[in-house]
Amino acid sequence: MGGNQEGRSRIGSGRRLVVKVGSSSLTTPNGMIDVDRVDALVDVLAARTRAGTQLVLVSSGAIAAGLGPLGLRARPKDLATQQAAASVGQGVLVARYTSSFARYGLRVGQVLLTADDMMRRSHHRNAQRTLTKLLELGIVPVVNENDTVATDEIRFGDNDRLAALVAHLTHADGMVLLSDVDALYDGDPRRAGATRIAEVRGPEDLEGVELGTSGRVGTGGMITKVQAARIATGAGVPVVLTAAAHAAQALAGADVGTYFHPGGRHPGTRLLWLAHATTGRGRLHLDEGAVEAVVARRMSLLPAGVVKVEGDFAEGDPVDLCGPEGVPVARGLVNYDAAEIPELLGRSTRELASTLGPEYERELIHRDDIVILEPARA
């Protein structure tokens, strides 16, 4: 427990924090923004901001906030209507935050991001610069996924993962995930006998834990929150998961919710984003020797080790690398268009250079552009 409290104190004394709040913590049962709940959250965040902490607020709720104005009784299932609701609701949401923070003389800045923004190095560097400058100017950035333009194939789908990536992007001292559940439990908290998990040091602490499904209003359930916590802690950022009602205690470093200890390794931005902010645009199927070279020996992927190509992708796109069983074991940024690769399969780079030209002597994917996916580490 000593390590637990010592770790929580990092959040209590942190100078830059990311706070994520879910839709269900901000809205009424019929989908309208709950002014009292928003104001209660802002009361806590404003107090911490005025005390000198730089806060980034990652807020869901745009789609939920658009349900009422559009006369919808439930979250739409089709992407087009979700995007329409987000278009209406994002304005409602930010207007509410603007008004609420203004009570304390604080200003907010809207930052809308997509997974595609995070895939492209120039885009995420621009996002990093913008967030840093907003914080330096004393502005509270309010971050959300840009649901109005995100495609069904390339989107976060929840803001938990986005919050973890923003925490890494901004070099945050800690992250607090707020939801309608006060902690992670070893079973369904609605059932008798479920026990709060006070801290998580690694995956072994979650063995046998029931994580449940997504909620009625939002898209992120406990599964996505645990995944987000693993992303953040893998980048060295401690995480507290608790209910929005306990936001003040969590930010103060009190023993509430579940504390996720940060990992010892701090991967570079490039690999973290490749692993967690991208979706493979296609697949390259590898033979056993290539899997061994890429996963175990961390070598570049050469055409000789690829037996099949799937998908329509361009040079520079992320693609999944699959083993003989068809399971993705790694992801990388490919150096060729999909249409070029079939002619290269099974051939050495020396042979390709002599027959097709020196530009074909390069690898399919350079080792610096490959990240090993978690199932392959198990």
Q: Residue type for 64, please? A: A
- Taking residue 255's Cβ as centre, other Cβ atoms within 10 Å add up to 14
User: How far, in Å, CA of 62 to CA of 89, rounded?
Assistant: 4
- b vs e for 171-205, b when ≥16 Cβ sit within 10 Å of the residue's Cβ? ebbbbbbbbebbbbbeeebeeeeeeebbbbeeeee
Distances (CA, A) of 20 to 45, 48, 249, 373: 11, 15, 15, 25
Which residues are annotated as part of the binding site?
20, 60, 147, 159, 179-180, 219-225
User: How far, in Å, CA of 296 to CA of 9, rounded?
Assistant: 38
Which residues are annotated as part of the binding site for ATP?
20, 179-180, 219-225
Question: What residues in the chain have per-residue pLDDT under 70?
Answer: 1-3, 31, 116, 118-121, 150-157, 210-220, 264-270, 375-378
User: How far, in Å, CA of 336 to CA of 64, rounded?
Assistant: 41
Alpha helices in 137-191 (DSSP H): 159-169
Nearest to 19 by CA among 241, 261, 190, 265: 241
- For 180-216, what is each residue's pLDDT tens digit? 889 999 887 778 888 899 999 988 888 777 665 444 4
352 beta partners = none
Torsion angle of the four alpha carbons 185, 58, 162, 269, in this order, in degrees rounded to the nearest 10: -110
* Residue 6 CB burial class (10 angstroms; 0-12, 13-18, ≥19): exposed
Q: Residue type for 105, please? A: G
What's 260's DSSP letter? E
Nearest to 46 by CA among 142, 145, 164, 175: 142
Residue 217 has what pLDDT? 40
Residue 363 has what pLDDT? 92
Rg of the chain's alpha carbons, rounded to an integer?
A: 22
User: How far, in Å, CA of 22 to CA of 216, rounded?
Assistant: 11
Which residues are annotated as part of the binding site for substrate?
60, 147, 159
User: How far, in Å, CA of 153 to CA of 307, rounded?
Assistant: 25
- For 75-115, what is each residue's pLDDT tens digit? 888 888 988 998 999 999 999 999 999 999 999 999 998 87
H or E element: which one contains 66? helix 62-67
